[in-house]
């Protein structure tokens, strides 16, 4: 056999051996990967798909509240990332029939006709989440000086929490936020009024459903009281979070809604929210800047801002955020759709 032919044969043999080793290595990696995935799934670390929960909205008996306002508030509360939706890990879907539970605006006499329920409070019986019409209109004294729309958010989250399998909770520590499953309509027990599930309550639901709480979504006017108001949100989504506006002015295709007590203005068009502004210290941007922050704090936290003596403008993600200054402090924050034309 000639040296040349021998060299070719050895090279081919070496190449074939390397290919077999590569195949074996690939198969071994695949087997190990599958085994690891099974172990993670068994340990509860596998990523679960979002869970969909269907619900209906209706009314029962003779009610006096605005039903349209009721149903879009229910939709907004159940879809809010701060609530039982767990930042999107649970998808609540409003359906006309076939829901797992029904949220009903209910005549107080109808509520009181069920055993174990009172005509004064709201109540959940079976798949019926009954929101007492009088409580929806007036709230309760025990909820303190909180605005009515916050009481409404609380009572929806509380009664739906029962439908999700939660019982009542109590105030854990004086001065802390009350669990949403505490009977806040009857008293706060030393806690602060709170319309949204605590992180411990949300985590408990996530464990029951086998999902993970999703990441916090980016907010436009982010605050602990109202949650994110985002560009593109519909009128119903805004009203569901803020309640009825103090005033509304319309000019052409735009509507300017104002909540004076909340220090919020929202500009709406057919395509949804086009701008949000706040002059209240209660609300923060995602980077924790708020009315009252100093100009130096704004410049420190925002690297690419364009500033002059009266404002700083930040562009990003299809939006322009403007911080307005007086005497070196932020007096108003405005977020609007960025014109890319």
Q: Which residues pair with 322 in a beta bridge?
A: 313, 334
pLDDT digits (tens, 9 = 90+) for 250-291: 988 899 999 887 788 999 998 888 988 888 887 777 667 888
Number of helices (H), then strands (E), in the chain: 8, 15
CB distance 149 to 119 below 8 Å: no
Mean pLDDT of 295-309: 76
Give the CATH H-level superfamily of domain 222-337: CAP (3.40.33.10)
Q: Which of the four CATH numbers 3.30.830.10, 3.40.390.10, 3.60.20.10, 3.40.1010.10 does domain 51-209 have?
A: 3.40.390.10
Percent of the chain with pLDDT over 90: 45
pLDDT digits (tens, 9 = 90+) for 74-83: 998 998 888 9
Burial of 217 per CB tally in 10 Å (0-12, 13-18, 19+): middle
Res. 28 pLDDT band, cuts 50 70 90: very low
Phi, psi of 269 (to 5 degrees): -130, -175
Q: Where are the domains of the chain?
A: 51-209, 222-337
Residue 224 has pLDDT above 50, yes or no: no
Give the other-Cβ count within 10 Å of 165's Cβ: 10
Res. 313 pLDDT band, cuts 50 70 90: confident
Res. 218 pLDDT band, cuts 50 70 90: very low
3-state secondary structure 116-154: CCCCCCCEEECCEEEEEHHHHHHCCHHHCCCCHHHHHHH
pLDDT digits (tens, 9 = 90+) for 37-76: 444 344 443 445 679 999 999 999 999 999 988 998 999 8
Q: What is the pTM of this model?
A: 0.65
Which of 113-122, 143-152, 212-221: highest mean pLDDT?
113-122
Mean pLDDT of 306-310: 83
Mean pLDDT of all residues belonging to the chain:
81
């Amino acid at each position: 056999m000639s040296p040349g032919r021998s060299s070719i044969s050895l090279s081919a043999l070496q190449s074939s051996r390397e290919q077999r080793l590569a195949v074996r290595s690939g198969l071994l990696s695949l087997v190990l990967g599958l085994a690891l995935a099974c172990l993670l799934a068994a340990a509860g670390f596998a990523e679960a798909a979002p869970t969909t929960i269907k619900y209906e909205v209706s009314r029962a008996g003779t009610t006096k509240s605005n039903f349209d306002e009721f149903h879009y508030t229910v939709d907004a509360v159940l879809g809010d990332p701060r609530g039982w939706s767990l930042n999107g890990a649970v998808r609540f879907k409003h359906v006309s029939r076939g829901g797992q539970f029904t949220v009903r605006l209910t005549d107080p006499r109808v509520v009181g006709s069920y055993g174990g329920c009172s005509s004064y409070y709201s109540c959940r019986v079976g798949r019926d989440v009954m929101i007492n019409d009088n409580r929806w209109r007036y709230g309760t004294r025990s909820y303190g000086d909180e605005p009515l729309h916050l009481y409404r958010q609380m009572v929806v989250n509380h009664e739906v929490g029962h439908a999700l399998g939660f019982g009542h909770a109590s105030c854990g520590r004086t001065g802390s936020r009350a669990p949403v499953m505490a009977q806040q309509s009857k008293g706060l027990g030393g806690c602060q009024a709170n319309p949204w599930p605590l992180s411990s309550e949300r985590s408990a639901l996530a464990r029951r459903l086998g999902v993970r709480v999703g990441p916090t979504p980016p907010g436009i006017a982010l605050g602990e009281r109202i949650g994110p108001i985002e560009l593109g949100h519909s009128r119903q989504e805004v009203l569901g979070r803020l309640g009825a506006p103090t005033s509304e002015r319309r000019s052409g295709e735009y509507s300017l809604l104002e909540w004076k007590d909340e220090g919020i203005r929202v500009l709406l068009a057919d395509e949804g929210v086009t701008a949000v502004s706040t002059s209240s210290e209660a609300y923060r941007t995602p980077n924790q800047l708020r009315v009252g922050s100093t100009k130096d704090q704004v410049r420190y936290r925002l690297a690419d801002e364009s500033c002059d003596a009266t404002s700083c403008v930040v562009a990003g993600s299809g939006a322009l955020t403007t911080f307005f200054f007086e005497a070196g402090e932020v007096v108003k924050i405005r977020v609007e759709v960025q014109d890319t034309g």
